[in-house]
Chains A and B, each alone.
Chain A
Amino acid sequence: MKQIVLMGNPNIGKSVVFSRLTGAEVITSNYPGTTVDFSRGKASIRGEQCELFDAPGTYSLQPTNRAEEVAAEVLRWADLVINVIDATNLERNLFLTLELMEKDKPMILVLNMWDEAKRSGIEIDQKALEERIGLPVVATTALTGEGIRELVDRLAEARSPPQVRPLSEEEKWVEIGRISKAVQKVTHRHPCLADRLSEATIRPLTGTPIALMVILATFYLVRLVGEGLISYLFEPLFELYRPLAYAISDELGPGVLRDLLIGKIINGDIDYVQSMGLLTTGIYVPLGMVLPYIVGFYLALSLLEDSGYLPRLATLSDNLFHRLGMHGTAIIPLFLGLGCNVPGALSARVLETRKQRFISLTLLGLAVPCTAKSAMIFGVLGSYGQKYVLLVFAVLAIVYIVAGLVLNRMVKGECPEIFLEIPPYRRPNASMILKKTWMRIRWFLAEAIPFLFLGVLLVNVLYSVGFMAWVERIFSPFMQWWLGIPGEAVAALLVGFFRKDLAVGMLLPLCLTAGQMVVATTLLSLYFPCIATFALLVKELGLYDTLKSSAIMVATALLVGGAMRWSLIG
């Protein structure tokens, strides 16, 4: 099958072109580095089945980070290259074009963001450009789909670039200067509202208060959507489901099967959180407790991503992250990680060095609570009072910073500085945001439900064979002595390996004091991310560094847990 690769600079809409061509669903946003791995899709181009690859964006073929390495790798598989160019920034994009032309593969040029170029007073003579570089050129606005038809129609015209001797870097820039002078006309325009907004949000004095407001508004939106969905949709639905669950329970009668499917009957009632059956807790925790906040979080995140605000936030927080051995771009793994640590960990590829990625991933697993973790914290401590919830989040934030400061000193390696392009503000597109949120919700369900079922199953099996009782007995003295919490909490920690949210149902019945519960929840958040994140860490860092990272997490959890015990429980 013919293999077509999309190549281009970061944040110019390659992924949008890709999903237009293949119909495949990929995450697109308005910041450089959204695509850190390649995506693969199929398309039928004039009756011929082709395989399309969407490569991560790169400024040149000499990679400077992991994502760019992937791009250089994917290029090697190409039978045909679609070089996507940002029409608003022709000059700079042409460098990669000239590099690609030296690879001697059939190529076609796509001038994307054509509408934005026109709006900002940039005119590019397509015909002249075609003649000048000897390759077909198509103008598109992938966001609306304009020009995509023409691209498909003209793909057959793609041809190998005319033979020229390879140019040195300096010669390339001279050539680029000539080309853009010949084909491009720029009419100067006055700064508009978006420009002024851009400056206000990126200057420290005005930008910092705006950032605080944006973050507060984000949390508010997540809670508004999450709590709204719970009280108006999911709670009523689960109440409707309750009679059915009872009916199943009665039908099964006492026995192993009922214990497994429905779980414990508590005070003559099914308790969705504590019963621990596959059909009760197994579906209530992911759907009734976590999913509503997932919806809220990803809606809010999409707004931040698509507007182009995240790179501004990266700039504002660069000073802090620099002291933690990373730089402002590290805010992206952090933000994505607040939804789910798995995509968060993947996005750490935008960081340049191994040291930075190690710190970013370790802090992510340690102190960045994903939505399921946050739901667990709220679920366990909500009834004790908001201040305890806040306390746990404050401890996590402090751990993030202190561990970062320490790791920066201890981990060897370089810490390059921030070097980040700030995209213009763009109005988020409602249907894109809904599509993206829906995609991420499906990923969450596909990721969460199997592990939850596995977790529920495991809890039941481990209890029935007496393993839990044995572990509780073994660890009880240590837990009592060092952390001030009963040995039974060990079972919750064990389950936390699979899913943190499931641990709520195991902590609640222990009737702990507020202080003990805060210690248990903090410990549960810190000591290990979850098995899915762990698997990805192994892939990104290798087994050795992942074990090192895990050791740091466990040590920190015990240290912080012990310290909190003395201050909270005494």
Chain B
Amino acid sequence: MQSPITSLKVGSVAQIAALQGHGSSFQRKLRTMGIREGKSLKVVAAYPLAGPIVIDIDGRQITLGRGIARRILVEAGD
């Protein structure tokens, strides 16, 4: 089962399973910022009112808009 990181609780850790949609340039940008299949990430903050999500990968924090975050799928159950 895969689910988007928007469904994770703040503070939880999960492994990225897949990146979805929006063409190759979008996925390239995600990957060049460290967001790649197999990496584990931690959700640092999630803003209310469909605001951005902050994740931590390799000790670096990245702020993502909600729509972008929805396309990052993680293995559920972690």
Q: Which residues of B contact A207 (CB under 8 A)?
A: 45
Contact of B49 among A95, A314, A319 (CB under 8 A): A319
- Let me know if B28 and A422 touch, CB within 8 A: no
**Secondary structure type dominating chain B contacts:** mixed
Contact of A418 among B25, B48, B64 (CB under 8 A): B64
- Let me know if B64 and A60 touch, CB within 8 A: no
Q: Which residues of A contact B33 (CB under 8 A)?
A: 59, 92, 419, 421
- Let me know if B54 and A202 touch, CB within 8 A: yes
Any B CB within 8 A of the CB of A327: yes
- Let me know if B60 and A419 touch, CB within 8 A: no
- Let me know if B65 and A204 touch, CB within 8 A: no
Any B CB within 8 A of the CB of A153: no
Q: Which residues of B contact A204 (CB under 8 A)?
A: 45, 47-48, 51
- Let me know if B32 and A199 touch, CB within 8 A: no
Any A CB within 8 A of the CB of B31: yes
**Secondary structure type dominating chain A contacts:** helix
Given A92-B33, A202-B45, is A422 in contact with B61 using a C-beta cutoff of 8 Å?
A: yes
Any B CB within 8 A of the CB of A169: yes
A124 to B31, CA, bound (A): 22
A424 to B61, CA, bound (A): 8
- Let me know if A311 and B36 touch, CB within 8 A: no
Contact of B44 among A9, A199, A322, A419 (CB under 8 A): A199
Q: Which residues of B contact A88 (CB under 8 A)?
A: 59
Within residues 60 to 74 of chain B, which ones have a CB less than 8 A from any CB in chain A? 60-68
Given A62-B25, A169-B28, A419-B65, is A89 in contact with B52 using a C-beta cutoff of 8 Å?
A: no
Could you tell me how many residues of chain B have their Cβ less than 8 Å away from some Cβ of chain A? 29
- Let me know if A89 and B34 touch, CB within 8 A: yes
Any B CB within 8 A of the CB of A120: yes
A419 to B68, CA, bound (A): 8
A239 to B48, CA, bound (A): 55
- Let me know if B62 and A420 touch, CB within 8 A: yes
Proximity string of chain A (391-422) to chain B, C-beta cutoff 8 Å, 1 when within and 0 when not: 00000000000000000000000001111111
Q: Which residues of A contact B64 (CB under 8 A)?
A: 417-419
A89 to B59, CA, bound (A): 9
A89 to B56, CA, bound (A): 13
A419 to B62, CA, bound (A): 7
Any B CB within 8 A of the CB of A173: yes
A419 to B44, CA, bound (A): 15
- Let me know if A417 and B65 touch, CB within 8 A: yes
- Let me know if B28 and A60 touch, CB within 8 A: yes
Shortest distance from the beta carbon of A13 to any chain B beta carbon, whole Å = 15
Given A59-B33, A318-B51, is A202 in contact with B61 using a C-beta cutoff of 8 Å?
A: yes
Proximity string of chain B (21-55) to chain A, C-beta cutoff 8 Å, 1 when within and 0 when not: 00011001101111010000000110111011010
- Minimum CB distance partner of A198 in chain B: B61
Any B CB within 8 A of the CB of A315: yes
Shortest distance from the beta carbon of B39 to any chain A beta carbon, whole Å = 9
Any B CB within 8 A of the CB of A464: no
Any B CB within 8 A of the CB of A64: yes
Shortest distance from the beta carbon of B1 to any chain A beta carbon, whole Å = 25
Within residues 192 to 217 of chain A, which ones have a CB less than 8 A from any CB in chain B? 198-199, 202-204, 207
Shortest distance from the beta carbon of A521 to any chain B beta carbon, whole Å = 35
- Let me know if A89 and B60 touch, CB within 8 A: yes
Any A CB within 8 A of the CB of B58: yes
A419 to B33, CA, bound (A): 9
- Let me know if A421 and B60 touch, CB within 8 A: yes
Q: Which residues of A contact B66 (CB under 8 A)?
A: 417
- Minimum CB distance partner of A327 in chain B: B65
Identify the interface centre among B24, B36, B61, B66: most chain A CB within 10 Å of its CB: B61
Shortest distance from the beta carbon of A355 to any chain B beta carbon, whole Å = 15
- Minimum CB distance partner of B49 in chain A: A319
- Let me know if B67 and A417 touch, CB within 8 A: yes
A-B pairs with lowest CB-CB distance, top 6: A417-B65, A59-B32, A422-B61, A319-B51, A315-B63, A203-B45
Taking Cβ atoms with an 8 Å cutoff, the residues of B that contact A are 10, 24-25, 28-29, 31-34, 36, 44-45, 47-49, 51-52, 54, 58-68
A-B contact pairs, 7 of them (CB 8 A): A92-B34, A202-B61, A315-B52, A318-B65, A319-B51, A322-B65, A328-B63
List 18 extra interface pairs beyond A319-B47, A328-B63, A419-B62, CB under 8 A: A59-B29, A59-B32, A59-B33, A91-B34, A92-B33, A173-B36, A202-B44, A315-B54, A315-B63, A319-B49, A419-B65, A419-B68, A421-B62, A421-B63, A422-B61, A422-B62, A422-B63, A424-B60
Taking Cβ atoms with an 8 Å cutoff, the residues of A that contact B are 9, 59-60, 62, 64, 88-89, 91-92, 95-96, 120, 169, 173, 198-199, 202-204, 207, 311, 314-315, 318-319, 322, 327-328, 416-422, 424
